[in-house]
Amino acid sequence: MYSDLNVPAKPLFSRSYRVAGKPDYIVKENNHYIPIELKSGSYQKPRQNHVLQLAAYCQLLEDTYGTFVPYGMLVYNNSDYKIPFDPKLRFELESVIKTMRSSLKTGDVVLNHNDSNKCRFCSMRTYCDNKLV
């Protein structure tokens, strides 16, 4: 349907969650929109932050097009992972969004790692008093 690699596209927006974003690709398969996210690196299993990012894209597609999104795809250098957008992942996404929103509101951002590279590339680094860089 579209690729974010060559042609800029408008971000998707969810009114209910007040989040926006756009996956690298969106394909239509059997009347379902499927987000595809390309990631650098090789991993034995999908990274949890990538899974949650993909889940957000699934939710954005559902909210934008009013249709069920059954799964999304994470594509790494060494393998592809089909991630079901199931009730468990939906609940986890909602919990993370609530936690992030609360942290932004209160200014209470909890550091959950010891990796300075995560801090260096984190979109929340300007709000975080605990950053490592």
DSSP string, 71-109: EEEEE-SS-EEEEE--HHHHHHHHHHHHHHHHHHHH--P
Note the pLDDT of residue 17: 87
pLDDT along the chain (133 residues), means of 10: 54 89 92 94 92 97 94 96 98 93 77 78 74 75
Note the pLDDT of residue 7: 47
The phi, psi pair for 83, rounded to 5°, reads -105, 110
Note the pLDDT of residue 126: 77
**Domains in the chain with CATH codes:** 2-85 (3.40.1350)
Note the pLDDT of residue 4: 47
Note the pLDDT of residue 71: 98
SS3 36: strand
Which candidate, 38, 50, 51, 23, places its Cα nearest to that of 118?
50
